[in-house]
Amino acid sequence: MVFSGNTYRNLTITFVISIVLTGLLNSQEVAVLKYKGGGDWYSNPTALPNLIQFCNAEIKTKIATQPQTVETGSPDIFQFPFLHMTGHGNVFFSEEDAENLSNYLISGGFLHIDDNYGMAPFLKKELKKVFPNKDLVEIPTNHPIFNIRYKFPDGLPKIHEHDGKRPQALGIFHNDRLVLLFTFESDLGDGWEDPEVHNDPEDVRQKALKMGANIVKYAFEN
């Protein structure tokens, strides 16, 4: 059988995507996204390990206990079904970064961005490079991410106070699947950190961890 150039190219793309999806589904690791721009992508160092420990114990995931670090433009992002991004300041995506991240997300990956206070104005501009024709939209409280394991009838919990603004869960969807979650004015990551870092009451930490577990479960199952 002889294929035309376009047919061969389409078959190749389909084959590559199927490999990516298989890798994502079989992966038991998550990663912190190391981005350009000078922002502190490495902030909250105990947050993700604590969330992993909680998920493995409470929702029976089998995630490697230590998260990896991966750069935005690296093909290695395709090894992870869940990427976590945080920081306080500037974010910059090159064209190559944006294309790589877009391909990752539409191929089955999931990115959770937790604003540690101050990254929102930079991030929103850079996301337009990733999805020029999509906008961040507020996620309704009946979405599975608020109900998939633990119930949050009022939506995203407030963990830390900054400007007195309400917490918002903003997302980007592709083919009706939530591929990117931006948690704003909540500071979930602060609630995941070791108790002595922020001295949060245990009930506040539990809210943060349970919301995080919902995010991880949604990412792994969708």
What pLDDT, on the 0 to 100 scale, is given for residue 27?
A: 56
Please write the tens of the pLDDT for every residue from 13-24. 444 444 444 444
The one-letter code for the residue type at 48 is: L
Task: Please choose, from the candidates 188, 197, 189, 115, the residue with its C-alpha nearest in 3D space to the C-alpha of residue 152.
Answer: 188
Output 154 or 12, whichever has higher pLDDT.
154
Of 89, 103, 91, which Cα lies nearest the Cα of 33? 91
Instruction: Domain count for the chain, please give it.
Output: 1
DSSP-derived pairing of the beta strands 168-174 and 177-184: antiparallel
Q: What is the DSSP letter of 140?
A: P
For 162, residues 6+ apart whose C-beta sits below 8 A from its C-beta are 117, 185, 187
Q: pLDDT digit string (tens) for 170-200?
A: 999 999 999 999 999 999 999 999 999 888 8
CB atoms within 10 A of CB 94: 14
Interval 75-129: pLDDT, tens: 999 999 999 999 998 999 999 999 999 999 999 999 999 999 889 999 999 999 9
User: How many angstroms from the chain centroid is the CA of residue 113?
Assistant: 5
pLDDT score at 25: 45
Radius of gyration, CA atoms only, the chain = 17
Q: What is the pLDDT of residues 35-52, one digit of tens each?
A: 999 999 999 999 999 999
- How does residue 28 score in pLDDT terms, banded at 50, 70 and 90? confident
Its domain, for residue 116, covers 5-221
Under DSSP, the state recorded for 39 is -
Residue 39: CB atoms within 10 A of its CB come to 21
Confidence (pTM)? 0.87
pLDDT single digits (tens) 197-213 = 888 899 999 999 999 99
CATH number for position 150 = 3.40.50.12140
Q: What is the mean pLDDT of residues 159-171?
A: 88
